[in-house]
């Protein structure tokens, strides 16, 4: 059995009358890449801040690297790295100076600091750019530098909060290559992202919505077990018009644009036949329509909409 790196039990955070995180539970193994996915305001960043020992939970328990977040926050800070989408770099410092600064902040061992710095330069693909001002770096290299700074203390656990926001697809691919190499060496990674395609790189993911963890499993299990209804993919000559037509059909559980195709979710096959008839009667040519394997985004949308429906029914709205 792999060593458990992060334990979260009934973790809750309230700000006045507002519950940002509501009794969430999950565990993360050493060397696991764990995706924490949800819309803005779902509670992702608040959870990370608690796990980093930056804010106290209202109730519940969590530990990181064996340290209780409420009792040993300073010990936790010694074994973790943290990177946010804002990168937290100093533009008026050079690459080398930024790394030196974070080495001091993280109180890295002075005897190995130079060696560690060289490793970070290599990992970050910044060799030859040590004396370049950070402000002059391309976004992708700033991202690599920010990750390098978060790794300067050789952390056992790293938290990545929307680390690839605003970065081009090629840079995101390279970034995930670095993350996978870190995990292979035993570093535990908790990452939040809005990009469902890159979340497929995770070993497991948890979906959080309105402060609640509504699902947590491997990618394959989520796709097989958590999709509400049958997913059909529709290829037609006017996807935007098709979207408008299909959204007027109450018998369809979900309707969403997926690239140049439309995804619909039905409870039974007959409803997909109704959809095809509605499209044709509105002058839309259906080129292809059939059952499709749900993407992680499909599963996420399905679960969140089901949660919102239950919430609405419970409130009597």
Residue 280 has a CB neighbour count (10 Å cut-off) of 12
Check residue 227 and give its pLDDT.
80
pLDDT of 140 higher than 90: no
CATH 3.30.450.90 fits 4-217, yes or no: no
Out of 193-197, 226-230, 282-286, give the one with best mean pLDDT.
282-286
Mean pLDDT of 105-110: 83
Angle, helices 139-150 vs 169-184, to 10°: value is 20
Domain boundaries, the chain: 4-217, 224-315
Residues 176-198 pLDDT 10s = 999 999 999 999 999 998 888 88
pLDDT at 259: 84
224-315: which CATH topology?
Alpha-Beta Plaits (3.30.70)
pLDDT of res. 1: 55
C-alpha distances in Å from residue 124, one per residue of 41, 119, 127, 146, 305: 31, 9, 8, 9, 39
State yes or no: pLDDT of 317 exceeds 70.
Answer: no
Residues of the chain with pLDDT > 70, as a percent, come to 98
Structure tokens at 75: 């010990």
Sign of CA dihedral 240, 242, 248, 251: negative
Q: What is the mean pLDDT of residues 249-253?
A: 91
């Amino acid at each position: 059995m792999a060593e458990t790196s992060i334990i979260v039990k009934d973790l809750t955070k309230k700000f006045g009358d507002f519950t940002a995180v509501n009794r969430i539970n999950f565990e993360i193994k050493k060397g696991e890449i764990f995706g924490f996915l949800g819309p803005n305001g779902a509670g992702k960043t608040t959870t990370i801040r608690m796990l980093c020992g930056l804010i106290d939970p209202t109730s519940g328990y969590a530990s990181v690297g064996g340290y209780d977040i409420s009792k040993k926050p300073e010990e936790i800070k010694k074994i973790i790295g943290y990177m946010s989408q804002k990168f937290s770099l100093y533009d008026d410092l050079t690459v080398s100076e930024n790394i030196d600064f974070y080495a001091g902040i993280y109180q890295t061992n002075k005897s190995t600091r130079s060696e560690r710095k060289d490793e970070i330069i290599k990992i970050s693909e910044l060799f030859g750019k040590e004396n370049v001002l950070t402000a002059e770096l391309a976004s992708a290299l700033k991202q690599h530098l920010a990750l390098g700074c978060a790794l300067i203390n050789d952390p056992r656990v790293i938290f990545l909060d929307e680390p690839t926001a605003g970065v081009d697809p090629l840079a995101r691919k390279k970034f995930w290559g670095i993350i996978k190499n870190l995990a292979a060496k035993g570093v535990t990674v908790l990452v939040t992202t809005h990009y469902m395609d890159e979340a497929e790189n995770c070993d497991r993911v948890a979906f959080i919505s309105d402060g609640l963890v509504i699902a947590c499993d491997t990618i394959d299990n989520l796709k097989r077990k958590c999709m509400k209804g049958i997913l059909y993919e529709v290829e037609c000559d006017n996807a935007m018009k098709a979207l408008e037509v299909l959204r007027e059909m109450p018998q369809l559980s979900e309707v969403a644009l997926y690239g140049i195709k439309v995804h619909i979710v039905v409870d039974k096959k007959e409803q997909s036949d109704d959809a095809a008839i509605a499209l044709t009667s509105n002058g839309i040519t259906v080129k292809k329509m059939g059952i499709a394997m749900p993407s992680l985004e499909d599963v996420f949308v399905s679960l969140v909409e089901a949660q919102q429906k239950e919430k609405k029914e419970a409130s009597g709205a």
